[in-house]
Amino acid sequence: MEMTLENSIENVKPRVPTEKILLWVAIASIVMLFAGLTSGYVVRQAEGNWLMFEIPAIFYMSTAVIILSSITLQMSIVAIRKDNKVRAKNLLILTLVLGFGFVLCQFIGWNTLVENNIHFVGTPSESFFYALTGLHLAHLAFGIIGLLVTVVKSILLKYSSKNYLGISLCAIYWHFLGGLWLYLFVFLAIFR
């Protein structure tokens, strides 16, 4: 049998799915965005006119919620690898609920800040706090959309032990968002 160039190209499968490569490129750009913002935060803080304020306790709760959501999402991957579709679906739904819980905690935290007279258009420290946490929440919105799509596909039984790329991509992005929040939370707690 003669092997042509076309046949050999068709038989070569990429080692890493294109979707994963694109996701990592997007994550790299988000990392650069937040690296620039946190660097700007440190530089601006050194110039003065910086208001020190306590981070509302609800932000500690939101940190625990996003960590827990990463755990449930990872457990979903373990379940689907074992073809336990019901457990995977239930864990995806729980992750989505926890994601909405994180969003709720953020809004309660911002409301607490406003009640304490800490506003987005206040001092630079106030503006940076809202900008960093708000941008994280905006990126988290895309994660929630991804979770919604993944939950629907899971309900429709689109995933199996041989096909769970969607859950895997969602998990990579969600774990990144969790890690990014931990970084921001520790950063904001240290550099107040």
Is 130 within a domain?
Answer: yes
Q: What is the pLDDT of residue 164?
A: 94
Region 166-173: mean pLDDT is 97
Is 73 within a domain?
Answer: yes
Q: What is the pLDDT of residue 48?
A: 77
pLDDT at 8 over 60: no
Is 117 within a domain?
Answer: yes
Domain count across the chain = 1
Is 122 within a domain?
Answer: yes
Q: What percent of the chain has pLDDT over 70?
A: 93
Please report the DSSP string for 133-175 in residue order.
HHHHHHHHHHHHHHHHHHHHHHHTT--BTTB-HHHHHHHHHHH
Is 11 within a domain?
Answer: no
Please write the tens of the pLDDT for every residue from 75-124.
999 999 999 999 999 999 999 999 999 999 999 999 999 999 999 987 88
**CA 92, CA 74: separation in Å to the nearest integer?**
9
pLDDT band at 6 (very low <50, low <70, confident <90, very high): low
Region 48-54: mean pLDDT is 82
CATH number at residue 151: 1.20.120.80
Region 39-46: mean pLDDT is 90
pLDDT at 183 over 70: yes
- Among residues 48, 148, 142, 160, which one has the least CA distance to residue 97? 148
Is 7 within a domain?
Answer: no
Domain ranges, residue 111? 16-50+57-190
For residue 161, what are its two tokens?
A: 């032990």
Please write the tens of the pLDDT for every residue from 144-153.
999 999 999 9
pLDDT band at 1 (very low <50, low <70, confident <90, very high): very low
Is 33 within a domain?
Answer: yes
Please report the DSSP string for 3-62 in residue order.
PPHHHHHHH---SS-HHHHHHHHHHHHHHHHHHHHHHHHHHHHHTS-----PPPTHHHHH
Mean pLDDT of all residues in the chain? Answer: 92
Is 10 within a domain?
Answer: no
